[in-house]
Homo-oligomer: A and B are copies of this chain.
Amino acid sequence: MATILIVDDEEDIRDLIAMNLQREAYDILEAADGLQAVKIARKKVPDLILLDLMLPEKDGYGVFQDLKSDSRTRDIPVIMLTARGKLDERITGLALGADDYVSKPFSPKELMLRIKNVLRRVQDYPAGALSENGDFKFDKNQLKFYLCGEEIDLTSTEFKLLLFLIESPNAPQERGDLLRRVWGYNDLIQTRTLDTHIKRLREKLGSHGSQIETIRSVGYQFNSNDQPST
């Protein structure tokens, strides 16, 4: 379930959003002014904040800055709502770091779409969808792999193999296990396929390729560079 904080004093917008979203099991928090919003956001961390820039008491941008300056709320995506769709306001909002920007009047459909788009980023990544180790980062949903922030194109076999190695770092993985888990081979067959793929992986990893170590007569092992937290 996603939690959304709505910062707005107009009831109809709250109703609209509540009606559209609650059916899909969203948890709605409400706040009529800025201070309260920041307070709620810090207490129960929402997945998304819907911020109306036309607040009665406080400047919407100020609330936004407050949220962004607190580490507990800094990384929550914010969708801004404004009465006017002026370009310079839009630019200001996006420049400040808003994730999206919707001008009133808007259709329910549009708002829902934007909310879902933003939430998709959050919800598509349930715990475990991202796997990370040092400079190695996996996006298991999108089947993408990043090395030092740069996307590296891996084939699906390479992806599975590297992921399996990295999820058990600093421990040798036996050939038989690798063949079973990555290729689905159940019999202990004799094949050089594994070695060839290790080679191709090392190539694609460049200087980091050496982190895949050969354990003679056993298999392969990924050596993490991560410092164990002391």
A contacts, CB < 8 Å to B: 16, 19-20, 22-24, 77, 85, 90-91, 94-95, 97, 99, 102-103, 105-110, 117-118, 120-121, 125, 127-128, 142-143, 155-156, 167, 171-172, 215-218, 229-230
Contact = CB atoms under 8 A, between A and B. Distances in A.
Contact of A127 (B20, B97, B110, B143): B110
A173 to B, nearest CB: 10
How many copies of this chain does the complex contain?
A: 2
B172 A143 contact: yes
Which 7 A/B pairs are nearest by Cβ-Cβ distance?
A110-B128, A107-B128, A94-B229, A23-B95, A19-B91, A107-B121, A99-B107
Contacts of A97: 109, 229-230
A202 B192 CA distance: 35
Given A95-B229, A142-B171, A156-B217, A127 B103 contact: yes
